[in-house]
């Protein structure tokens, strides 16, 4: 954090004796941030929760930061302007960093449309701990799903700054994983994410 960003100069970082490595040794698995990004209705939340379910069954400590849920509490004071979206992702990034240190596999499901915001979160944690998972789904499929009716309202001009319609979505340049959620089944998508975690050593190669 820069001096300008930190309002108080009277705070000092306290180094805990219980470290991330000790917490991971206790749980028997690594920690990581799984950042699911993509258009609304691309399947981010569905996939994140399905992955969490499988990890939980394997005895892993997990937590899903769901975009809608976070806006009911931590980010309830924010709207959807570019500034508020930036702040929304900044807060979630700081929270997931804490969960990473706690030895938890943190999963997020946010549109997070801007590359700079996602890269800012990546820069908060050690190299390899931020796994960007792009839920790739064509806009027309997302609109057909549209279970919340948001695209229809955005097309009618009732929702301003709606990603994919009146506000841009910047695709990841080099995500750790691209999941074609427009064509793959949920089970196939989950398997791809779990394979990534095995390759990265977050969970054992036998899945445990």
Is 112 among the residues known to form the active site?
yes
- DSSP code string of the chain: --TTT---SS--PPPPSS-HHHHHHHHTS--EEEEEE-STTSSHHHHHHHHHHHHHHTT--EEEEEHHHHTTTTTTT--SSHHHHHHHHHHHHHHHHHHHHTT-EEEEE-----HHHHHHHHTTS-TTSEEEEEEE--HHHHHHH-TT-HHHHHHTTSSSS-BTTTB-----SS-SEEEETTTS-HHHHHHHHHHHHHHTTSS-TT--
Set 112, 166, 185, 189: catalytic member: 112
Enter the tokens of residue 28: 């028997």
Is there a contact between 133 and 35 (Cβ–Cβ < 8 Å)? Answer: yes
What's CA 43's distance to the chain center, in Å? 12
Residues carrying an active site annotation: 112
């Amino acid at each position: 954090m820069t001096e300008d960003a930190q309002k108080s100069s009277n705070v000092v970082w306290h180094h805990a004796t219980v470290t991330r490595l000790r917490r991971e040794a206790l749980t028997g698995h690594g920690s990581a941030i799984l950042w699911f990004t993509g258009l609304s209705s691309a399947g981010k939340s569905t996939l994140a929760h399905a992955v969490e379910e499988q990890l939980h069954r394997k005895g892993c400590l997990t937590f899903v930061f769901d975009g809608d849920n976070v806006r009911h509490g931590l980010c309830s004071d924010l709207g959807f302007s570019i500034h508020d979206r930036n702040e929304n992702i900044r807060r979630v990034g700081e929270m997931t960093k804490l969960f990473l240190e706690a030895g938890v596999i943190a999963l997020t499901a946010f549109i997070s449309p801007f590359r700079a915001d996602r890269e800012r979160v990546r820069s908060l944690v050690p190299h390899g701990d931020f796994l960007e998972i792009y839920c790739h789904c064509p806009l027309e499929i997302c609109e057909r799903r549209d279970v919340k009716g948001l695209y229809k309202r955005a097309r009618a001009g009732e929702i301003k700054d709606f990603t994919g319609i009146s506000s841009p979505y910047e695709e990841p340049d080099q995500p750790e994983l691209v999941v074609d959620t427009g064509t793959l089944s949920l089970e196939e998508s989950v398997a791809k994410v779990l394979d990534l975690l095995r390759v990265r050593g977050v969970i054992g190669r036998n899945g445990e």
